[in-house]
Structure 1
Amino acid sequence: MPPIDESTDAGTARAAPVSAPGSRAGTGFDPGADTDCEDTLDLRLSDELIALFAGGTFSRDGTADGTADGAAHRTTVGAVHGARGGSPEETPDADDLLDRVGGWGPARTIAGALHLVPVRAGRDLALVHRWMNDPAVAEFWELAGPEAVVEEHVLRQLDGDGRSVPCIGVLDGTPMSYWEIYRADLDPLARHYPARPHDTGIHLLIGGVADRGRGLGSTLLRAVADHVLDRRPSCARVVAEPDLRNTPSVSAFLSAGFRFSAEVDLPGKRGALMIRDRSLRDLL
């Protein structure tokens, strides 16, 4: 299966992709009342989660195989990758589980402005396919092969209910990374850790070899994690689960202000559960 977290880079050895899809389970946690970073579990399922489980089943990579009638989420992006400084535009459905990722605007970094532009299959598949066939990426994402393999992975998210949004990371006008922003509490990952409502997961793939191994992954991870916390007030934690074997990725998350929480056994890999807490963002 694709890694639940691929490699970024940490300024050391060769870096691989940075993250991939997770698991699901909601809990009765009030983000506004969070004052510490304890990973506790409340077994009360939220009404939102119960409704989602009632509406469909889930595939092994954490995306929806079926959803309730009328729950499909589609996003239209009006941005052109090559247009410098242009903000992505989005026309989401009324129900949006991730607060309209395409309309978040730029995340400011020391490397430039990063826009998360939701993927359009016809426009972006060839680029994502090329990145996935890089041997360093394929080792962890496991999506190498014909374009149909990547197409199935991406369309499963685009045709789902919006709990996972695949995006192209456009840095100062240049598409250079692939991201998946997803509801970790509604993903199969939540079966493997004490999830809290609105936990948001991120998966990152740095596309170009020239952008790896120089600390850029850490810079982007910190910026996007904080962007999630800024744009999703109900989210108290950003989570990731890179493969434990992917040392550059784990190191990148630590450098980006995530803390190591636990080792988790996931389908196809043993992951390092990494968490960036809203309450600790100014300290880490």
Structure 2
Amino acid sequence: MTEVIDRAALPLPDGRMLQASAEGRRITLAVAGQPSIQFGIGPDAPTLGVDVMECGERDPQQAVWLASYWLFATRPGSQSLEWSGLPLTPAMRDAGLVMPAADGGWQTLRTAFWQLPSPWLRSGTGADFPQAMQMVSGVRFPRRPPKPVGEVYRRFDARLGSWISLRTLDIEQDLERFNRWQNTPRVEKFWEEGGSLETHRAHLEKLADDPHCLQLIGCFDDEPFAFFDAYWAREDRIGPYYEADHYDRGIHMLVGEEHHRGPHKVASWLPALVHYLFLDDPRTRMIVSEPRSDNDRMIHHLQRIGFHRQKDFDFPHKRAAMMALTRECFFDRCYLC
């Protein structure tokens, strides 16, 4: 028997509420009081049978998306949905929302569903930015797209019962909290970047001008709690230490607010950060991280969502653990509901 999360109402990224009512195993989903789709479900299992009984005629693709979202959120053990009575449209098939099943029917795969960029991604994907190679300091890598501004990712975590979102760092808005976080003894022990407001302003301005990295603020229910630095690995200092692909990304992570610490919070924000980076450019096949080799707690958190400890190696400033997560591994496990 797979796990079932009781969720009669599930917030959607656009702020509306997805409401579910059930009669036995017959489910009706509605948005803003308007019924969207009604379906019956089979026994809870890795492959879940879904029999569509009624579907909104105006936008059947959206109705099927809503059903998939609610089912994957409330049944984390289900890896695929096998449809009967599906009002198939070319748009559903072309988008990858549904795919052919081995028996000739149609299915929605959890691993494919979470790779659909909308509605989680709040900005365009890097897929639209052409690949134009350049050579800098003996390293050949693609020119990077302009950095986004504002909120870039938003998703409701059904298990935590909170919104997790990412926005780009604003120096004027975030300098004081960044300074406070970096001067916390717990953070300073591993980051070794404590200092004054002036020092941190200069540091953030330098990062803002660097096209190879992107500074993000993590929020729970719109409250800032963490700083993330995402970088293109090819032209980063980590590049020479492994065979970096042109679109590999890396992450540095700092949780600044004490009341947002804990394994249950990491289990929300860490998959969200990785999810955003994989959505941001579908050419990204791997995400890496290089915590200090003695940072056992962070290494454990990374391993829990699929990162593999490839090796330990020496940076000039620290002994580091090389942690790597492939796109396939992440979406096969899908720690997103």
TM-score, with structure 2 as normaliser: 0.54
Q: Which moved more, 1:268-277 or 1:106-115?
A: 106-115
What is the distance in 1 between the residues matched to 2:225 and 2:257? 6
What is the distance in 2 between the residues matched to 1:224 and 1:170? 11
Structure 2 counterpart of 1:104, which letter? V
1:1-284 equivalences under 5 Å are: 48-50=133-135, 52-53=136-137, 96=145, 100=148, 102=150, 104-109=152-157, 110-111=159-160, 112-160=162-210, 162-284=211-333
What is the distance in 2 between the residues matched to 1:190 and 1:254? 21
- Which structure would you say has the larger RCO, counting Cα contacts within 8 Å and 6 or more residues apart? 1
CA RMSD of aligned residues (A): 2.4
What is the distance in 1 between the residues matched to 2:177 and 2:295? 23
| Contact persistence 1:202–1:239 (CA under 8 A) | yes
Consecutive unaligned residues in structure 2, runs of 5 or more: 1-130
Give, in angstroms, the shift of residue 256 of structure 1. 2.2
* 1:243-266 residue CA offsets vs partner (Å, 9 max, x unmatched): 111111111111122111111211
Give, in angstroms, the shift of residue 54 of structure 1. 7.5
What is the distance in 1 between the residues matched to 2:292 and 2:331? 26
Secondary structure at the residue paired with 2:263? coil
Secondary structure at the residue paired with 1:188? coil
Among the aligned pairs, what percent are the same residue? 25
Call closer, same or farther: CA 1:262–1:102 in 2, change over 3 Å. farther
Call closer, same or farther: CA 1:214–1:149 in 2, change over 3 Å. same
What is the distance in 1 between the residues matched to 2:255 and 2:194? 15
| Contact persistence 1:181–1:202 (CA under 8 A) | yes
Structure 1 counterpart of 2:133, which letter? E
* 1:104-151 residue CA offsets vs partner (Å, 9 max, x unmatched): 331443433322211111111001000011100001111112112222
What is the distance in 1 between the residues matched to 2:315 and 2:331? 30
| Contact persistence 2:151–2:165 (CA under 8 A) | no
* 1:177-227 residue CA offsets vs partner (Å, 9 max, x unmatched): 101111111211101122111100111111112222333223311221122
Give, in angstroms, the shift of residue 97 of structure 1. 6.0
Consecutive unaligned residues in structure 1, runs of 5 or more: 1-45, 56-70, 72-94
Call closer, same or farther: CA 1:263–1:176 in 2, change over 3 Å. same
Structure 1 counterpart of 2:209, which letter? D
What is the distance in 2 between the residues matched to 1:244 and 1:189? 15
| Contact persistence 2:151–2:168 (CA under 8 A) | no
Structure 1 counterpart of 2:187, which letter? V
Which structure has the larger Rg over C-alpha atoms? Answer: 2
Q: Deviating runs (4+, > 4 A) in structure 1? A: none
Secondary structure at the residue paired with 1:170? strand
Call closer, same or farther: CA 1:185–1:102 in 2, change over 3 Å. farther
Could you tell me which residue of structure 1 aligns to residue 20 of structure 2? none
| Contact persistence 1:108–1:223 (CA under 8 A) | no
Which structure features the higher share of strand residues? 2
What is the distance in 1 between the residues matched to 2:304 and 2:288? 14
| Contact persistence 1:218–1:253 (CA under 8 A) | no
Structure 2 counterpart of 1:280, which letter? C
Call closer, same or farther: CA 1:141–1:248 in 2, change over 3 Å. same
Give, in angstroms, the shift of residue 103 of structure 1. 5.5
| Number of equivalences | 198
